[in-house]
Amino acid sequence: MITRMSSLFLRTLREDPADAEVPSHKLLVRAGYVRRVAPGGYSWLPLGLKVLRRIEAIVREEMEAIGGQEIQFPALLPKEPYETSGRWTEYGPNLFRLKDRKGADYLLGPTHEELFALTVKGEYNSYKDYPVTLYQVQTKYRDEARPRAGVLRGREFVMKDSYSFDLDDAGLDASYARHRAAYIRIFERLGLDYVVVSATSGAMGGSASEEFLAVADTGEDTYVRSTESGYAANVEAVVTPAPPERAVEGRPEAQVHYTPGTPTIETLVDFLNGAGLGRTFTAADTLKNVLVKLREPGEKEWKLLGIGLPGDREVDLKRLEAAVEPAEVALLDEADFAANKFLVKGYIGPGALAAAGVRYLVDPRVVKGTAWVTGADKADHHVVDLLCGRDFMPDGTIEAAEVKEGDASPDGQGTLVAARGIEIGHIFQLGRKYTDAFQVDALGPDSKPVRITMGSYGIGISRLVAVIAEQHHDELGLVWPRAVAPADVHIVIAGKDETVAEGGERIASELSDRGARVLLDDRKASPGVKFADAELVGVPTILVVGRGLANGVVEVKDRGSGERVEVPVDGVVDHLL
Ligand code: ATP
Ligand code: MG
Ligand code: MG
Ligand code: MG
């Protein structure tokens, strides 16, 4: 295929756009890939759309390779399923809500767990139907607090979201592992420098969760990794000691370690009764004014799962049991709280709270000033709002829990180094959060219903365009990896001579006939303008057809290395393919 720059809908800009801070944003606008329409809303121009489609194609290939089947939901969704799951309110101000002419509530889908769960429930009902993995490549809407950096953080963006449905935990583990491997293949093919880190589960709920972060100084996520082990985590997911200035003299941390084996209400109750709290618990009991920190099997971090409340709010033990498998539990007791004896340490993850089905569990007396919430802008507004609304932090300061470079690694091996990254993918073992909400069951071989378990897996497709640009550019412009470049060869016709133009055309046709995608600069511009645009646009191979043609040679330039070689014009097509 030949794309002629004389007619291509493209205007490159010499100046950086005024609102752009990061290189990818500047370059994608200057090179005419995207144009801003609204905060966090961008149109894709022809070159940008080609890159976007290349990324989509790679993602689709790898999704199909693990057995994913593509479907597509509307972006305009009724409120009811999101009410059932609780996310109509939980998603907070990030959700675009709207009303139709009859006054019915709708939303623009930020992610589609509810719809996938409902659809599978509607079509499948036997154990023989499972497992199944479905996905879509679709436009999502989130009213981000800070849309940023062009398509990097949009309010309308393209995501690949897939969902696995399995009969049991082992099935979910396998589906998760398949997705993890597919994601590794995708990000390798896209030429990205990235890390896989353990992550909080955010507003999605669930337990096992990992993020794929592209390494970038301009990233909004901070991750730490151990110098000695494979440990790597988003700082949001790391248990941190309270910062020194927050520590209060004479308040040692109390932790009672306990390994319950198979956790049940009974073992939790046993544990509570054995913890010397000076009170007897039963299975029908609720927790009040106690903090339970759980460490799940295989996980390094403690999760603070509940702080009971004074007055009428309570934590239902049954909900704790349903959602988590504690390997170790630490408990702080009521009397000690009252005596102001303990310092609450560690991380309150809204994801951890959601994972346990536990909400609104903050005792201001206990927590104020000694615990903090991360991810204020990570779709966790329900918790943040609540905390603020209850005067938890009247000044509204929600501080991120930062582990520092040089801290000991939580797994005890080595020290931590910190770096910044951009989230490009996120995989979750959701478990039964949504299948419980929608009662998605399969009839087992014994005709008894089996509750399906679910995973959800996202990739930011439109974000990836910016992320790849962020990692692949130089001072002159973009430098696309071959796999996603908008063309394979960029031919610059340098000179007004008719034979030069003919030579360029001939090479372009031959390359195109042999399957290459050619961007042919056949404009009436000066060679200087054409060279500058070729560097800016970033096609990996630039072929200059100019004066040398009279001597039977053309110049091939590698956009990445800058290396130039003269090649006989007769052999250039073979040289390039
Ligand atoms: P972030 O932490 O950057 O806000 P997220 O954790 O809210 O992302 P997920 O809900 O995990 O995002 O969605 C899956 C993927 O969608 C993310 O890994 C990211 O690549 C992409 N994504 C999320 N929000 C945006 C956005 N506003 N613009 C572009 N891509 C996004
Ligand atoms: Mg995130
Ligand atoms: Mg987000
Ligand atoms: Mg995420």
Give, using CA atoms, the residue closest to atom 7 of ligand 1. Answer: 378
Q: At what angle do helices 46-65 and 461-471 cross, to 10 degrees?
A: 110
With beta carbons less than 8 A apart as the criterion, state whether 136 and 70 touch.
yes
What HEC string does 132-181 produce?
EEEEEEEEEECCCCCCECHHHECCEEEEEEEEEEECCHHHHHHHHHHHHH
With residue 478 as reference, give the H or E element that holds it: strand 477-478
pLDDT at 3 over 80: yes
Residue 478's pLDDT is: 98
Question: What is the DSSP code (8-state) at residue 492?
Answer: E
Pick from 214, 188, 192, 186: nearest CA to 57: 186
Exposed (0-12), middle (13-18) or buried (19+): which is 551, by Cβ within 10 Å?
A: exposed
Q: Compute the distance from residue 157 Cα to the ligand 1 centre, in Å.
A: 9
Ligand 1 close to Cβ of residue 351 (< 6 A): no
Ligand 1 close to Cβ of residue 378 (< 6 A): yes
Reduce the DSSP state of residue 293 to 3 states and report it. Answer: strand
Give, using CA atoms, the residue closest to atom 22 of ligand 1. Answer: 460
What HEC string does 511-536 produce?
HHHCCCCEEEECCCCCHHHHHHHHHH
Local confidence band at 237 (pLDDT 50, 70, 90 cut-offs): low
Q: Which range, 59-68, 91-100, 374-383, has the best average confidence (pLDDT)? A: 59-68
Residue 28's pLDDT is: 98
List the end-to-end C-alpha distance of the chain, in Å, as a whole number: 14
Q: Report the distance separating Cα 491 and Cα 285, nearest Å.
A: 75
Q: What is the mean pLDDT of residues 116-126?
A: 96
Question: What is the DSSP code (8-state) at residue 552?
Answer: T
Instruction: Tell me the torsion sign for CA atoms 111, 114, 120, 122.
Output: negative
With beta carbons less than 8 A apart as the criterion, state whether 187 and 501 touch.
no
Proximal ligand: closest to the CA of 236: 2
Q: Compute the distance from residue 236 Cα to the ligand 2 centre, in Å.
A: 9
Report the amino acid identity of residue 193.
D
Q: What angle do CA 247, 252, 258 make, to 5 degrees?
A: 125
Q: What angle do CA 398, 210, 290 make, to 5 degrees?
A: 50
Q: Compute the distance from residue 379 Cα to the ligand 3 centre, in Å.
A: 5
Q: Are strands 291-295 and 328-332 parallel, antiparallel or unpaired?
A: antiparallel
With beta carbons less than 8 A apart as the criterion, state whether 56 and 190 touch.
no
Q: What is the mean pLDDT of residues 400-413?
A: 68
Q: Which residues, 6+ apart, have CB-to-CB distance to 339 below 8 Å?
A: none
Proximal ligand: closest to the CA of 204: 1
Pick from 162, 157, 183, 190: nearest CA to 463: 157
Using one digit for the tens of pLDDT, what is the confidence trace for 456-515?
999 999 999 999 999 999 999 999 999 999 999 999 999 888 999 999 999 999 999 999
Q: Report the distance separating Cα 433 and Cα 458, nearest Å.
A: 17
With beta carbons less than 8 A apart as the criterion, state whether 212 and 179 touch.
no
With beta carbons less than 8 A apart as the criterion, state whether 458 and 161 touch.
yes
pLDDT at 318 over 70: no
Q: Report the distance separating Cα 329 and Cα 294, nearest Å.
A: 5
What HEC string does 297-347 produce?
CCCCCCEEEEECCCCCCCEEHHHHHHHCCCCEEEEECHHHHHCCCCCCCCE
Ligand 1 close to Cβ of residue 150 (< 6 A): no
With beta carbons less than 8 A apart as the criterion, state whether 354 and 386 touch.
no
Chain-centroid distance, C-alpha 333: 37
Helices (H), 190-305: 265-274
Spell out which residues have Cβ within 5 A of ligand 4, the ion: 426
Q: Compute the distance from residue 147 Cα to the ligand 1 centre, in Å.
A: 11
Ligand 1 close to Cβ of residue 473 (< 6 A): no
Give, using CA atoms, the residue closest to atom 8 of ligand 1. Answer: 423
Ligand 1 close to Cβ of residue 421 (< 6 A): no
Report the amino acid identity of residue 553.
V
Q: Report the distance separating Cα 107 and Cα 141, nearest Å.
A: 9
Local confidence band at 299 (pLDDT 50, 70, 90 cut-offs): low
Using one digit for the tens of pLDDT, what is the confidence trace for 218-231?
898 888 888 888 88
Q: Report the distance separating Cα 461 and Cα 56, nearest Å.
A: 7
pLDDT at 14 over 80: yes
Helices (H), 220-264: none
The ipTM of this complex is: 0.99
Proximal ligand: closest to the CA of 463: 1
Give, using CA atoms, the residue closest to atom 18 of ligand 1. Answer: 425
Q: Compute the distance from residue 140 Cα to the ligand 4 centre, in Å.
A: 14
Mutation test residue for ligand 1: of 25, 159, 213, 420, the one with most atoms within 8 Å of CB: 159
Q: Report the distance separating Cα 570 and Cα 335, nearest Å.
A: 88
Local confidence band at 412 (pLDDT 50, 70, 90 cut-offs): confident
**More confident call, 533 vs 326:** 533
Q: Compute the distance from residue 28 Cα to the ligand 2 centre, in Å.
A: 23
Ligand 1 close to Cβ of residue 379 (< 6 A): yes
Q: Report the distance separating Cα 209 and Cα 199, nearest Å.
A: 5
